[in-house]
Amino acid sequence: MTDTQTQPATILVLNSGSSSLKFGLFKADHEDAAVGAHESAQEDEALLLEGSAEGIGRAEGSLKVKSADGTVLLQKDHLLESQTEALQKLAAVLAEHGHTRPAAVGHRVVHGGPHLREHRLLTPEVRQQLKEAVHFAPLHIPPALALIEQAMKIFGDAQHYACFDTAFHRTMPPVASQLALPRRYAEAGVIHYGFHGLSYESLVRQLGKDLPARAVFAHLGNGSSVCALRDGRSVDTSMGLTPTGGIPMATRSGNLDPGVLLYMMRTEHLGADRLETLLNRESGLAGFTDGEGDMQVLEKRSAAGDQAAELAIDAFATGVRKYVGAYAALLGGIDLLVFAGGIGEHSAEVRRRVCAGLEFMGLRADDPTGKVRVLHTEEEQQIARHCRALMRQAQAR
């Protein structure tokens, strides 16, 4: 037996936010695959450790790393100057606890523009394509590129892969993906992309043979979207060209009449950068409540009689419910509604409000028939799966 067989190559997954960094370290789980070569498809990624750096750049920042069994390996509450510092501390934890350096690093990339719609090795050419696609997601692509550059310095001996949130939605038909604009815009990549694809992929995998032909998935968190699936493939989704579209989110506006933007430009003389900040950081639930976008806080405030918080929650749940209804019409009915994401998984109140009025379709928040389910999304594990598959494809060439 070779060293590679005794010590399977590990994959480090990095999932970055504006002021946070989630990570997980995975190895191939050979328990099921060992039965026979014909059953290798049963192999999956086993978690070795996971954690997150929160509040990066703020005094109340923290770093927590724990093993798969929940044992805390590191927990510090202090200022983390940058994601680079968080990565360096993570590398030290891996070495301290006897983990070999990862053979691959998987990066979640929210948007790759029109030419990057498949998960792939981060070659210099791919990194250049990402730089050229910055105008499609100026709030997301630059931080992703910065983290990739940092990780390549710290884990320079590893293969680095980009896994795109838009990839899952390539199956949308033209009637869903094309926008009602002159054709030259579509040719330039101005289309309906869709996001949260890695989350939706993981839910499809979890459900397996239990996934019916007509399903709607609602990934609800700080960023939220709804997806219509036929036979496990995306046919429509609420987010559009960027992750700003769809339902109102924590700080994002969701869909707006384009006339609203024209009004702001004409009356307040707002440029593109100011509009970007307003729509992505000052709107949504935070817009209703003068700055509060946290659903847990809003639920407490609503229970105490805060009308602004009540309106924000109602607008959020109603927005989700409207998409569920629209997708029921698109699919010809719904056999399964799945809630995932931080809000979808943990807020029974939001699930109750979304399902209120959908009883005529057999959708009830407390559903004994299993037509409404709550699942934990596995984005990091899904990224590890893609990276392992890409590594094997490269070895087979």
Distance in Å from the first CA to the final CA of the chain: 23
| pLDDT tens profile 332-364 | 999 999 999 999 999 999 999 999 999 999 999
3-state secondary structure of 223: coil
| pLDDT tens profile 205-241 | 999 999 999 999 999 999 999 999 999 999 999 999 9
Residue 8 has a pLDDT of 66
Over range 126-141, report the average pLDDT: 92
Over range 180-201, report the average pLDDT: 97
Phi, psi of 107 (to 5 degrees): -110, 125
Q: Are 50 and 84 in contact (CB under 8 A)?
A: no
Phi, psi of 142 (to 5 degrees): -60, -45
Over the chain, what is the mean pLDDT? 91
| pLDDT tens profile 135-188 | 998 888 888 898 999 999 999 999 999 999 999 999 999 999 999 999 999 999
Over range 129-133, report the average pLDDT: 95
From the candidates 77, 165, 257, 367, give the one annotated as an active-site residue.
Answer: 165
Q: Which helix (H) or strand (E) holds 73?
A: strand 72-77
Superfamily (CATH) of domain 3-170: ATPase, nucleotide binding domain (3.30.420.40)
pTM of the predicted protein model: 0.92
The answer to which of 14-28, 34-48, 266-280 has the lowest mean pLDDT is 34-48
| Neighbour-count burial of 281, counting CB atoms closer than 10 A to its CB (0-12 exposed, 13-18 middle, 19+ buried) | middle
Catalytic residue at 165?
Answer: yes
Residue 92 has a pLDDT of 87
| Position with higher pLDDT, 58 vs 297 | 297
Give the contacts of 18 (CB within 8 A, at least 6 positions apart).
Answer: 139, 143
Over range 6-30, report the average pLDDT: 83
Tokens 């891996």 sit on residue: 94
Residue 11 has pLDDT above 60, yes or no: yes
Long-range contacts of 209-216 (CB under 8 A, 24+ apart): 211/336, 212/335, 212/336, 213/335, 214/331, 214/332, 214/333, 214/334, 214/335, 214/336, 215/334, 215/335, 215/336, 215/337, 215/338, 216/323, 216/324, 216/327, 216/328, 216/331, 216/334, 216/336, 216/337, 216/338
CA distance 256 to 268: 17
| Tokens at 92, concatenated | 């030290």
| Tokens at 342, concatenated | 């931080």
CA 143 to chain centre: 15
Phi, psi of 134 (to 5 degrees): -55, -35
CA distance 288 to 308: 6
| pLDDT tens profile 39-93 | 344 579 999 999 998 888 777 788 899 999 999 988 888 778 888 888 888 888 8
Q: Are 164 and 386 in contact (CB under 8 A)?
A: no
For the chain, residues classed under CATH 3.30.420.40 are 3-170, 185-374
Q: In Å, how far are 117, 149, 394 from 113, measured between CA atoms?
A: 8, 19, 24
Q: Are 15 and 108 in contact (CB under 8 A)?
A: yes
* Residue-wise burial string across 314-347, b where 16 or more C-beta atoms lie within 10 A, e elsewhere: ebbbbbbbebbbebbebbeebebbbbbbbbbbbb
Phi, psi of 170 (to 5 degrees): -65, -20
Over range 356-385, report the average pLDDT: 94
Q: Please state which CATH number belongs to domain 185-374.
A: 3.30.420.40
CA distance 217 to 142: 29
| 3-state secondary structure string across 335-377 | CEEEEEHHHHHHCHHHHHHHHCCCHHHCCCCCCCCCCEEECCC
